[in-house]
A and B are shown apart, each in its own frame.
Chain A
Amino acid sequence: MLSESKKSGSPPRPPPSEDISRDDVRAQREAKKLAKAARKNKSFKGKLANPPTSTSENEHPVVPYPAQKSLKTGTTSRALEVKPAEANPSSQSVSIGVSADLLKSDSSSPSVIHSLFKPKKGKELAQSNVSKLYPPFYNVGLKVRNNVIRGANSQCVKLLDAIKDYVRCYDVPPGTTFKHGLFADLEGNMENLKTVCSFSISMSNAVQFLLFYLHNMPDDDGKVIDFKNEILDVIDQYIVEKIEKAVEAIVLYGLEKINEGDKIMVYSITEALMSLLVKAAEDGISYELILIQTRETKVELADVLEKLKKPTSDQTVRVSAVNFSSALYKIRSCSKLLMGGHGLFTNGGVMAQSGSGQLALVADTYNKPVVFLCETFKFCDRSPLDFLPLEEYMPEQFQTEDDFLEPKLIYDVTPSNLVTVVITDIDMLPSNGLAATLRVQEGSTPAKL
């Protein structure tokens, strides 16, 4: 401590008592200034920038801090580097107090969980592009976004209808062929539409199919009207084959799985699932239905009851509803868990409404079969391990003023080992086998999304 004055060659020290008090006050003032600056800058860089100014004010050099370092832990010593080292124990205690304060105010490191939900770069909503969007597309986009059109199949159909309208009214711009012009304009429109509402897998697959088809169309300049008719026919065929007939096929396969007297637990209701339930009731199979409800799916329950009005009233189908939290309460008495899927992946994962992974796990624990119903056009050449790589998982999030994050997760991915079987329009398959079957059948690899 005494070596200090010898090293610096500073003027002779005044009597110790006065020195202590002055140093004390100075140290406190310094410490307060630094704390304020650190809170402003919120980074260690800011702190390191400060020492030159502080040491210039104070004539005491920064020497004895190695001795001080040994006293304190590694974290506080970093903050101490910055402070002018004082020889007095009282000021030392002041600096300790302040450094702890600095540590607390260092909330600059982002939350691990919050950063999961930050919108990915470039995918934020862009307002300016909406004006370039064809109005019926915008119409569909708004309806999808506000959940007026519910259900992946109906969203897809409505979008394709809007595309048909677009194609009908399309005028080839000068300097380009019909095919190229339509391709570019349609692609541009779809990109813009993605900023209005997020596409479900069914919608993006349909658009991708159409663009692929356009790309492969022969290049010669025939009559525009012929091209247009061809495209309209293709779209109609897609709708009939991939959506309407697929649902019928699924219902046929699914009927094998619903037996008399079954107790079926149902979640993630899609059109295919709904049609299956209605058909089974119409065929006179008497079963019991247990609907899993969450706050978000109130409307769907009303839909289901509406469709099943006749069977429920004459007691062919007995319906009960349970809160999601209490699904376990009922699973033991059920014979199977039936869910509608929104998308299928290469690794066998099935995308469905958020919560289906949980229910699949619960059913698996109690050894009940987990059956997904999914049309093949919803197959997606991706292998997400959980919900985060999915762009569709969360259209908007919600951050209240209180600074806690409340994300709205809409979909999740059920891993393939929890899925017993997926009923598709081709066949009933274990979820792993789906990718291979599709490739063999179509003879082409779907393009990477």
Chain B
Amino acid sequence: MANASKESQYIILLQQLEISLKRGRYVRSHELATRTLRLAEKYVQSDSWKNAEEVMQWLENTADRLTKAAVSESAPSNVLKRLIKTVQEDFMTRKNQGRMHTISRLDSDTKVDYSEELPDLRSDILGAILDLSSELENGAESIAEDAEKHINANEVIMTIGRSRTVEAFLKRAAKINKLEVIIVKCGPFYQGKDLAKSLTKSKIKTTLINDTAAFSMMSRVDKIVIGTHTVLANGGLKAIAGCHQILLTAKYFNVPVLVLAASYKLSPEYPFSAEMKITNRFVSPEELIDYKDGDMIDNVQVYAPVFDYVPPELVSLFIFNMYVSTTLN
């Protein structure tokens, strides 16, 4: 009975996650990653698998399933793919116990048979999941630890939109140095105001400007610190709409750009095609056009995409939260 309930537990969690993704109840990537990890944990705890191969198969299938549910959200599949790698490594470690542990190389000749049954694999994987989840929780703080290295006294920092990682970073830096922050509020959500209120509570001098004014203010900015939704495999970013333009302006004025990203944001996805199409999603353009102008809008197409692709050459530095993990390629 206990086994059956454990099995149904993870199935229920998976269904819930899938439904919330499909319905478009988009939440922060962080929450998605946590939920996915919990789901994986439940699966590993249950008895539905016998060997490493089955685990990896399940992980891959689930990753596909969740990606299909919401193409633009890559956090769940990032986490699961990382777990696959972890499982592979744990398997190798267990197998080679006593011998030298080698990280699997691309040119290794031996074909590994993952269907071997290893008794302690379960506890190994559970341990790895625990590590990952603590890494997830402490993501923002560990990134913020680097704050003093990069921000000097009396600097004017510009940030785009609202990112909680950046918020923690700036608050940490403000404890040590005086700094000023310019927040650029970008459509379609215009969340900058919340960030401004939060930063002024921490005694940081804040200015809130429109995205149209970024060009005018750029010459006075010392650094740009932004968060992002995803970091793509070529080093490019999938960030909120408006980032690309503002970072272009930063390049024009030679302002260095720091991107803060937690590990669950790293995706093996490449932007497809020469036109750099990324998996984007569109939201209601109600900010742009009033409903009362409806009859005139018959013949007008209105677009309000949420994400923007930023090519890797516009970013000066990435700051991740990883200190120990070797599982990421």
Contacts and interface: CB of A to CB of B under 8 A. Distances in A.
A is bound by B: yes
Interface of A: 104, 107, 109, 111-114, 116-117, 293-296, 298, 301-302, 305-306, 309, 312-313, 315, 318-330, 332, 353-355, 357-358, 361-362, 365, 386-387, 402-409, 412-413
A313 B242 contact: no
B210 interface: yes
B24 to A, nearest CB: 19
A259 B297 CA distance: 25
B208 to A, nearest CB: 4
27 contacts: A111-B207, A112-B156, A295-B190, A295-B287, A301-B288, A302-B296, A319-B299, A321-B285, A322-B303, A323-B187, A324-B187, A325-B242, A326-B304, A326-B308, A327-B245, A329-B241, A353-B212, A357-B216, A361-B252, A362-B245, A362-B248, A387-B216, A402-B196, A404-B200, A409-B213, A412-B213, A412-B216
A407 B285 CA distance: 24
Contacts of B298: 313
B289 A113 contact: no
A305 B296 contact: yes
B301 interface: yes
Contacts of A114: 205, 207
A114 B200 CA distance: 13
A434 B301 CA distance: 37
A199 to B, nearest CB: 20
Contacts of B246: 358
B77 interface: no
A325 B241 contact: yes
A320 B296 contact: no
Interface in B215-260: 215-217, 219-220, 240-242, 244-246, 248-249, 252
B211 A325 contact: yes
B197 interface: yes
B275 interface: yes
B213 A107 contact: no
A25 B130 CA distance: 50
Contact of B213 (A104, A320, A354): A354
A353 B212 CA distance: 9
Interface string B280-294: 000001011110010
Contacts of A318: 299, 301
A121 to B, nearest CB: 21
A403 B301 contact: no
